[in-house]
Amino acid sequence: MRNIAGKPCFSVKDLVDFSGFSRSYISTLIAKTKEGKLSPPLPFYDFVTNKRHKYFFEKDAILSWFDAIRSV
């Protein structure tokens, strides 16, 4: 999947497969990022369609985020 700029993106399902995190843990990370309680913040795009949120994650940003949390 790619975003508008043509960069590769993960859906939540792709991120679960890639990271090994559960969907509920990813939801917790998203909520903490929205509250400003997660450092470094999880990079994501939030789209609201039919009153539902769909989250997408830019692949390069996620790889950088994993490097950042490993170095903390």
Rounded distance between C-alpha atoms, residue 18 and residue 6, angstroms: 20
Per the structure, the complete domain to which residue 62 belongs is given by 9-71
Q: Kindly state whether residue 2 falls inside one of the protein's structural domains.
A: no
Q: Kindly state whether residue 4 falls inside one of the protein's structural domains.
A: no
At 62, the amino acid letter reads I
pLDDT tens track, the chain, 72 positions = 666 667 888 999 999 999 999 999 999 999 999 999 999 999 999 888 888 888 999 999 999 999 998 886
Q: Kindly state whether residue 1 falls inside one of the protein's structural domains.
A: no
Q: Kindly state whether residue 65 falls inside one of the protein's structural domains.
A: yes
Phi, psi of 61 (to 5 degrees): -65, -40
As a residue count, the chain comes to 72
Q: Kindly state whether residue 62 falls inside one of the protein's structural domains.
A: yes
Segments in the chain forming alpha helices (H): 12-19, 23-35, 59-71
Task: Judge if pTM exceeds 0.85.
Answer: no
